[in-house]
Structures are given as structure tokens and as C-alpha cells.
Amino acid sequence: MKQYSKREFLKIMGLGIAFAPFISLYSACSSEGKPENKTKANEPAAEGSTPVQPQTDELDISKADPDDIILLKRTDAQFAGLNKAFNGRIKKLPLYIALCKTTLGVQYAIAHARKEKLPVAVKSGGHSFEGFSSNDGGLVINLSQMKGISWKENEQVSLQPGCLLQEIQDAIFARKRLIPTGSCGTVGIAGLTLGGGYGFFSRKYGLTCDNLVDVEFVDGKGQVQHAAANKELFWALRGGGNGNFGVATNFVFKTEDMPATFHAHVLKCRQLDTERFTAALQTWFSVSETLLEEDFCAFVLNGSTLTILATTFGNQNKLAQNIGPLLSIADSATNSSTELPKAMKRYYGRKGPILFKNASAGLYQSYEDIAAIAPQIFEKVVAAKGMIYQINTLGAAINTSAFEAQSCYPHRSLPYLSELQAYWDKPSQEAGLLKAFEEIQALVRKQGITAQYRNYPDINFPDWQHAYYGKHYEKLQQIKLDFDPHNLFQYPQSIAGKDA
Ligand SMILES: Cc1cc2nc3c(=O)[nH]c(=O)nc-3n(C[C@H](O)[C@H](O)[C@H](O)COP(=O)(O)OP(=O)(O)OC[C@H]3O[C@@H](n4cnc5c(N)ncnc54)[C@H](O)[C@@H]3O)c2cc1C
């Protein structure tokens, strides 16, 4: 397996963290299914009915079956490995890691945390930009071993939260089906879905959370809930479910037919100056307005080199025609048409930990939103080696009223998501990059851009409550009180109960 140097990595990260090429070391997860959850409350209950459940206060972890849960202390051999996060910048030290293998194991973990009065964080794929899936001195519910994948009727698929995107894609593509997820192979399906989830297929099929049929969920009281039987909870879990109210222990998704071929254009503009940059940016926005639902486009500034990735799983000729104005300003352009499963592996990215700071840098309506600050963003990115500024297309099917009504994701009418990324390998580089990072975020704020993507959090966002959840924050606070009244689940930007 080829190991990449930091320099090589930064170069290939010209396509940004959301679309980094394949270097992964993970092995595929069997679709034949590891053991399904053992709890008896595994099937959706009818609305209003109460499933038979263990009394969680009576669960005594010292009597738990190791096939359900292993409670690890700091001195245990497995602890340090499980404590690692994808982001090497983040260092946290919980008191316990509860390695849960079943839903019942999660209930044991919650009972134990309640008994010891410990705050709880939930970790699935461990890719949280700000380390929100761990804590200092509390209990972390680690779901990395819950990797079951099994098929249900009507080509629906049941996924446990420890599944990583590349494991899911391998299993789903083998059956010629598709779920619209992100593309980085080592991201967890759980965190991605609970915060929204977007990628190459979202403009056609919606966010990842829009494709959910049900979620099995253990709330802060230790009770197993089925989101399909609880409209409010389901609404909250689609965009607001990251570690706020409890633990998602199983996801059921509908799937789509897998398109046969993925077409990609990669355009490069090198040694840009401010004028060429802003002209390219303006052209990119006007071109992206012409894209079809099957198309996706990313604008990625890395130093003074601009990379534009335009993809489709639909009409290749139409895409080539629509991106014509970009082709005419690019220094070079390549294109490829590849069998879809093979093409997706190019974007699986690498295994961490790596040192970085990434965050949402605003959702936009149009070029006008950033026209005034574009020259300054360009100059700051060029001056700060290791900094990447990226804009991705959302919109199209994401912005439909049915999806809007059933989820708390609040930014559907904003068709552009920008992200800021900074990578370094020497500790001495960190402070300068973080300063430049914050200066760009301040520019964005000054411009009046406040909407941010919850899955790209920044610990420094003021009023993150409304930046992530918009007008829905207060309703989410009520739901927090219903499902986690004692605020067991908490991290620096977790939803607080209404009275908190
Ligand atoms: C390299 C990289 C590429 C990315 N690419 C994309 C992309 O293409 N599209 C996109 O939309 N996003 C992308 N993201 C962002 C990604 O969606 C978030 O980082 C996501 O939260 C990661 O989920 P996780 O399970 O891996 O992380 P974790 O760190 O385990 O969890 C993230 C958050 O979700 C909570 N959580 C995790 N599991 C559960 C659970 N079972 N129940 C309740 N809460 C839970 C955690 O408490 C935490 O707050 C990318 C991130 C990285 C680092």
C-alpha cells in the first residue's frame, strides 16, 4: 500500500477533503451481516405503542455480556487505539470507552453513565472536525464494531452505525444499488447521515438523511425508539441528530439503481492572480446554475492553483456543453468515464490521523453573496500555504418541499456550500494557519454570511445554534428535553434543553 508524504497529500487534496483520492487501508464489511442488534425492541413499533424494553436503571454493567459491551478504562490495552480520532489536532481523554456491540450494550453504557453521572459522547467513524465524538473525563460510546449490513424488502438496506462509507459502497454497489452519501471512504455513515450528508448524488436524490426509512435509536433515558414511529424524533435526527439526544444504533435506507458510469472533468487554472481568480469564480457560479440534477461541481482553490471538478452520472455530452465557458478559461482539462464503483474508489481518501482544521465557510445563494470578499479570500489563501478554499454545489433535489418538511436541515434553499481547509505536518505551522483561517471566517461573517453546515463545525462560530439549525433550534431544544432531559449527551456545541 502506497504511503503518501505530506507534500503529496496536500497536492492531491487539491480536490478538497470531501473528494480526496483513494489511499484507504480499511477492509470491506460483509453484506452477509455480522450479528444484528440483540435487543428485542428491534422492529419498528406502531405509532403510539410502547415496545417491551429492559428497565435501563436496572442494567448493571458488571453483569453485561462481553458480546454486548466491553467497558474500557484508560489503562486497558485497547483504550489508546480506540481513542484515536481522524483529526490528529484533537486530543481528548475520556474516563471510559464503552465498546458497544449491540443495542443492549448501548443501553448498558447509558445506564452506567447515568449511575456515575458522566457526560456521554458518541463515536462512530470518528471524523468529527472538532472532536465532538469524544470528551475529557466522560464516557464515550464507541460503535466502531457495529458494522452489520443486511438487506430488507424492496431493496432497503439496514446499516449499523460503525459502517464506514467505503464498506457500505462496496456492499451496495455489489448489488447494483446506491445510497447518496459523501465520498470519503473512512467517514462513518452515522455522523454523516445525522448531520445531513451530501455528495455526488445529492442533487438528484437529496441529502443522505432524506433517504432514511427508519432509525433505531437509544435515547438519553436508555429507551429504544424507532424514528419511523415518532415523527418529531425522525425530523430531529435528519440534520440535528449528531450526539444530541442519544445514540443511533441502526439505520434503514431506501436505495436507488446504481448508475453504470461516472463521468468526471478535471480542469486546472494555474498561477492565478486576483483578477483571473474572481473572473473564474464568477464563471463557475454562472456555469453551475446550468447543471442538471445528475451533475455536481466543486471549485477548489489550493495556493494559486484552481481545480474544478465537474461530474455527472447522467448526460455526459450535456455536462461537457454546460461547462464550456470553464473549459475555455482553464489551462488544462482532462476527462474520464469510468464504471461507477471503480470511479468512487478514487475519492475514498486516506486513513487518519492527519493534522488539520476544516470548517464550513458559509452556505451561499449566489456569487453576489461573496463577490465583495472574493479578492481578499484569494489573497489570504495564497499567502497561507496549506490552506484550501472550496465551494460545492448543493441545490436541485435537496431543495424540495417534501424533504424540507420531514427534516430539520435548514439550508435547503442555499445551493452552494463552501469549506475552508488547513493542513500541516509540523506543529510550528499550526498557529499561522489557524490565524489565517480565522481571518477568512471573519471576512465571511462581516459579509453577513451566517448559515453553516453542521457536519463541518467550527468551534469558533458565534451563534452556532442558528448557524447550524436556523429557525429550528428552539424546537430542537424541546426535543432534547423530551429525549435527553438530564443532558447526558453533551459536547461544546450540543443542543441544550430549553431551560439550559
Ligand atoms: C475526510 C472527510 C471527508 C468528508 N466528506 C464529507 C462529504 O463528502 N459529505 C458530507 O456531508 N460530509 C463529509 N464530511 C463531514 C462528515 O459528514 C462529518 O465529519 C461526520 O459527522 C462524520 O461522521 P463520523 O461518524 O465519521 O464521525 P464521528 O466523529 O464518530 O461523529 C460525528 C458526530 O456525530 C455524532 N455521532 C456519531 N455517531 C453517532 C450515532 N450513532 N448516534 C448519534 N450521534 C452520533 C458524534 O457524537 C459527533 O457529534 C467529511 C469529513 C471528513 C473528515
Q: Say which residue the cell 435487543 belongs to.
A: 39
Rounded CA-CA distance 500/479 in Å is 13
pLDDT in tens, the chain (500 residues): 333 344 444 443 444 455 543 222 222 233 333 334 444 333 444 444 444 566 677 899 999 999 999 999 999 999 999 999 999 999 999 999 999 999 999 999 999 999 999 999 999 999 999 999 999 999 999 999 999 999 999 999 999 999 999 999 999 999 999 999 999 999 999 999 999 999 999 999 999 999 999 999 999 999 999 999 999 999 999 999 999 999 999 999 999 999 999 999 999 999 999 999 999 999 999 999 999 999 999 999 999 999 999 999 999 999 999 999 999 999 999 999 999 999 999 999 988 899 999 999 999 999 999 999 999 999 999 999 999 999 999 999 999 999 999 999 999 999 999 999 999 999 999 999 999 999 999 999 999 999 999 999 999 999 999 999 999 999 999 999 999 999 999 999 999 997 65
Is residue 314 domain-resident? yes
pLDDT value of residue 56:
75
Backbone angles phi, psi at 141, to 5 degrees: -85, 110
- Pocket lining for ligand 1, CB < 6 angstroms: 17-18, 86, 121-129, 132-133, 143, 161, 182-184, 187-188, 190-192, 194-199, 241-243, 247-248, 349, 455
Report cis status (omega within 30 of 0) of the bond before 353.
yes
pLDDT tens-digit series, residues 422-451: 999 999 999 999 999 999 999 999 999 999
What is the separation of C-alpha 360 from the centre of its chain, rounded to a whole number of angstroms? 11
Index of the ligand 1 atom closest to the CA of residue 198: 11
Same domain, 230 and 284: no
Three cell numbers at 446?
462581516
* Sequence letter at residue 496: A
Q: List Cα–Cα distances, 164 to 186, 292, 369, in angstroms.
A: 5, 29, 35
Q: Is 25 exposed, middle or buried (0-12, 13-18, 19+ CB in 10 A)?
A: exposed
Please name the residue whose Cα sits nearest to atom 35 of ligand 1. 242
Same domain, 268 and 153: no
Is residue 99 domain-resident? yes
DSSP string, 451-469: ---TTS--TT-TTHHHHHH
Is residue 488 domain-resident? no
C-alpha dihedral sign at 206, 264, 171, 154: positive
Domain count, the chain: 3
- On whether the CB atoms of residues 190 and 219 are closer than 8 A, the answer is no
* Among candidate residues 98, 118, 142, the one where a domain is terminated: 142
What is the spatial order of strands in the sheet that 332-339 belongs to? 332-339, 261-269, 305-312, 295-302, 387-393, 416-423, 356-364
- Write b or e for each residue in 452-477: b if 16 or more Cβ atoms lie within 10 A of its Cβ, otherwise e: bbbbbbbeebeebbbbbbbebbebbb
* Parallel, antiparallel or unpaired: strands 256-257 and 261-269: unpaired
Residue 496 alpha carbon to ligand 1 centre in Å: 20
Residue 282 alpha carbon to ligand 1 centre in Å: 31
Q: Say which residue the cell 453533551 belongs to.
A: 490
pLDDT value of residue 44:
40
Same domain, 323 and 401: yes
**Which domain does 10 fall in, by range?**
6-16+261-339+347-467
Mutate to test the pocket of ligand 1, among 15, 23, 123, 205 (most ligand atoms within 8 A of CB): 123
pLDDT value of residue 19:
53
Same domain, 160 and 104: no
Three cell numbers at 257?
439503481
Is residue 89 domain-resident? yes
Same domain, 478 and 453: no
Q: List Cα–Cα distances, 252 to 43, 102, 149, 217, 349, in angstroms.
A: 11, 16, 10, 12, 26
Beta bridge partners, 364, equal: 416
Q: Is 63 exposed, middle or buried (0-12, 13-18, 19+ CB in 10 A)?
A: exposed
Q: What is the CATH number of the domain that holds 276?
A: 3.40.462.20
Is residue 477 domain-resident? yes
Q: What is the CATH number of the domain that holds 131?
A: 3.30.43.10
Backbone angles phi, psi at 304, to 5 degrees: -100, 15
Same domain, 357 and 287: yes
Residue 128 alpha carbon to ligand 1 centre in Å: 5
3-class state of residue 258 by DSSP = coil
Same domain, 321 and 424: yes
Beta bridge partners, 235, equal: none
Q: Say which residue the cell 452515522 belongs to.
A: 190
pLDDT value of residue 332:
98
Same domain, 317 and 430: yes
Index of the ligand 1 atom closest to the CA of residue 121: 47
Q: What is the CATH number of the domain that holds 249?
A: 3.30.465.10
